Amino acid sequence: MHGFANPARFLRMARWLMPLMLVPGLILAFGALAWGLFMVPPDRLMGQTVRILFIHVPSAWLGMAGWSTIAIASLVELVWRHPLAGIAARAASVPGAAFTAICLATGSIWARPTWGTWWVWDGRLTSFLILLFLYFGYIALAGAAQRDAAAGEGASRVTAIFGLVGAVNIPIINRSVVWWNSLHQPPSITAGKSTIDAAFLYPLLIAALGFTLIFGGIVLARMRMLLADIQTEARLRRKAMA
């Protein structure tokens, strides 16, 4: 793991891996959306609105995967002091927040013709909205820690602790439809099992794979950006002191 702690080695890998994730990701994701839009039959209960799930479900998965990435990277930063872990956590926060917002917006649009309302304050929707606010808090905290150079490592540790504590919301989101009565349907895909018909399942899985690759590509690009900012800052500081 510490082999990748060298920023130069990481940058060499990120240069070829980033387009390798982004380009197939975009092709798979938008191909699956087109498949869902033009080739999938309307659902018996949901009608045409079933097509919204091909964007809603992958963005829900990535909203939760984004915070899981933050939590794991924060743990690695706190325990092993891996120099790139904090950068990886910060890089995952913005795409995580974006996909959480897309999930909430598309879910609300799906709910209006299906449930007859844009929003209900049930466990799943409310815990997902809390996830969005946690992302906003994390992004603000990480930005403040970077700006306040005097705060140094201490501020970075506070950000990492916030990333770890916020992870408590992930199992709550996952189990919310089991623990509490909800308009939201229970899990359709569990380990090794699916209640979804193959006509919907295959484009859904391809969309999830495509958007996950896009997410990975964005995280790598943001890590390159954050590393470049740190290197610029360090060089300018050295010059100012010389």
Partner 1 sequence: MHEKLDQWQFVMAALAIGVIGTLVLVGWTLWAMKRSEKRRDKAREK
**Contacts of 18-23 spanning 24+ positions with Cβ under 8 A:** 18/217, 18/220, 18/221, 18/224, 19/217, 21/213, 21/214, 21/216, 21/217, 21/220, 22/213, 22/214, 22/217, 22/218, 22/221
Positions touching partner 1 (CB under 8 A) are: 22, 26, 29-30, 33, 37, 47-49, 51-52, 55-56, 59, 94-95, 98, 101-102, 105-106, 109-110, 112-113, 116, 211, 214, 217-218, 221-222, 224-226, 228-229, 231-232, 235-236, 239
Of 195 and 231, nearer to partner 1 (C-beta) is 231
Of 53 and 173, nearer to partner 1 (C-beta) is 53
Nearest distance from residue 173's CB to partner 1, in Å? 20
Rounded Cα gap, residues 216 and 192, in angstroms: 24
Return the closest-CA partner of residue 140 out of 26, 182, 132, 229: 132
Of 157 and 184, nearer to partner 1 (C-beta) is 184
Q: Among all chains, which residue has been given the structure tokens 């690695």?
A: 76
Nearest distance from residue 161's CB to partner 1, in Å? 26
Of 78 and 139, nearer to partner 1 (C-beta) is 139
Of 1 and 240, nearer to partner 1 (C-beta) is 240
Nearest distance from residue 121's CB to partner 1, in Å? 21
Of 108 and 158, nearer to partner 1 (C-beta) is 108
CB 159 within 8 Å of CB 141 = yes
Of 168 and 228, nearer to partner 1 (C-beta) is 228
Nearest distance from residue 34's CB to partner 1, in Å? 10
- What the block records as the tokens of 131 is 């996830």
Nearest distance from residue 165's CB to partner 1, in Å? 26
- What the block records as the tokens of 118 is 């844009």
Nearest distance from residue 218's CB to partner 1, in Å? 5
Rounded Cα gap, residues 29 and 215, in angstroms: 11
Alpha helix stretches (DSSP H) within 81-197: 85-115, 123-147, 152-166, 169-179
Rounded Cα gap, residues 222 and 242, in angstroms: 30
Nearest distance from residue 110's CB to partner 1, in Å? 6
